[in-house]
Amino acid sequence: MTLPGLFPYWVVIVLMMIGFYMVIAHGNLVLKIIGLNIFQTSVFLLYISMGKVRGGTAPIIASGFSTYSNPLPHVLILTAIVVGIATTALAAALIIRIHGAYGTIEEDEIHRQDNSL
Amino acid sequence: METLILLAVLSFLGLTALAILRLRDGVTAVMLAGLYSLLSAGVFVLMDAVDVAFTEAAVGAGISTVLLLATLHRTSRMTHRPTHTPLIPLIVVMVTGAALVYGTLDMPAYGDPQAPIHQHVGPDYLRDGPNTTGVPNVVTAVLASYRGYDTLGETTVVLTAAIGVLALLRGRRQGKERS
């Protein structure tokens, strides 16, 4: 069974757009961050899927294997995952501060309080 | 067989994302986001990125879930319906998605060994890495040796974020004591 050659990329784009929709359509700040994480993980998937070689194995050199997938996207995404968790932590801290200042984490409520000042 | 497994895990991933999209309860959404991370770690294994899968399972499914649960614990759990009319975001997302799909049309097929990405430094690392660095895992060799300065920069980013989080949350506790 063979899939059309671009199929994994299209699935990844659909996932990416679900995350993007969450970021712009949800008013709840925590749900926005979850959407951002979904978007981010989908970008990781896009990079990793480009590094895959048909019939290849994980890029750990061992006897008995000759075809390996490309290690370069793996390295880039390892860095990106760690940077991603750093931004998530910072966003979570900001949400806690926003809740402390406004008493809510709903975007519309925050705007309403800002405008009534 | 591998294609079937990939197809199954990718559809689970899609279903989880759709479920998160429909949720209004923060805690359930965070738990499902952890599941999404774990499933994507499964996809990484299928695409031969075992180091990335390991990191994603630990960091994405573990630490990220704990962080967001702690945030919800300190704020509020339930959320209202989306505030904006869903029409405009939907149009924006559709247009962006269509543009991205259009962009994939001249990409090399998935798994194609002749793709440009496999013609540049990747094969050099695979050929020379174990001899130059003495590490059989090429991902580790590139991360810690060839691109060690990038990894140093990455730890700087983490340090900056940690300072930011501490600065934000320390102020809060003092503020509470005052009030």
Residues paired with residue A68 on neighbouring β-strands, in sequence order: A57
Domain ranges of chain A: 7-52+67-115
Binary contact (A16, B97; C-beta < 8 A): yes
- DSSP state letters, B108-146: PPTT-TTSGGGGSHHHHHHHHHHHHHS-SBHHHHIIIII
- Count of C-beta atoms within a 10 Å radius of residue B39: 22
* Residue B86 tokens, joined: 């869903």
Measure the CA–CA gap between B6 and B52, rounded to whole angstroms. Answer: 17
Binary contact (A48, B60; C-beta < 8 A): no
* B14 neighbors A11 (Cβ within 8 angstroms): yes
Question: Which candidate in B56, B72, B75 is best for mutational testing of the A interface (most A CBs within 10 A)?
Answer: B75
* B48 neighbors A58 (Cβ within 8 angstroms): yes
Measure the CA–CA gap between B146 and B134, rounded to whole angstroms. Answer: 12
| Alpha helices per DSSP H over chain B | 2-22, 26-46, 50-55, 64-74, 87-104, 121-133, 138-141, 148-178
- Chain A residues in contact with B138 by the CB 8 A cut-off are 59-61, 68, 71
A80 touches chain B (CB under 8 A): no
Measure the CA–CA gap between A105 and B30, rounded to whole angstroms. Answer: 15
Distance from CA of B16 to the nearest CA of A (A): 10
ipTM entry: 0.90
Q: How far is CA A30 from CA A96, B28, B29, in A?
A: 10, 12, 9
> Can you state the angle between helices B2-22 and A7-25, rounded to 10 degrees?
10
What is the value of pTM for the model shown?
0.89
Name the burial class of residue B99, with classes exposed (0-12), middle (13-18) and buried (19+) by CB atoms within 10 angstroms of its CB: exposed
Give, for all 117 residues of chain A, the pLDDT tens digit. 456 678 888 999 999 999 999 898 888 888 899 999 999 999 999 999 888 888 888 888 888 888 888 888 998 899 899 999 999 999 999 999 888 888 888 888 888 888 887
Residues paired with residue A106 on neighbouring β-strands, in sequence order: A28
Four-point Cα dihedral A47, B11, A35, A109, nearest 10? 170
- Chain A residues in contact with B93 by the CB 8 A cut-off are 17, 20-21, 24
Give, for all 179 residues of chain B, the pLDDT tens digit. 788 888 899 999 999 999 998 887 888 889 999 999 999 999 999 988 899 999 999 998 899 999 999 988 888 766 665 555 788 888 999 999 999 999 888 888 888 888 888 888 888 888 887 888 888 888 888 888 888 888 888 899 999 999 999 998 886 555 454 44
- Count of C-beta atoms within a 10 Å radius of residue B145: 15
Binary contact (A88, B93; C-beta < 8 A): no
- Chain A residues in contact with B172 by the CB 8 A cut-off are 96-97, 100
CATH tag, B1-80? 1.20.120.1200
Domain ranges of chain B: 1-80, 116-146, 148-179
Question: What pLDDT, on the 0 to 100 scale, is given for residue B21?
Answer: 86
Measure the CA–CA gap between B42 and A8, rounded to whole angstroms. Answer: 14
Q: What's the CATH class of domain A7-52+67-115?
A: mainly alpha
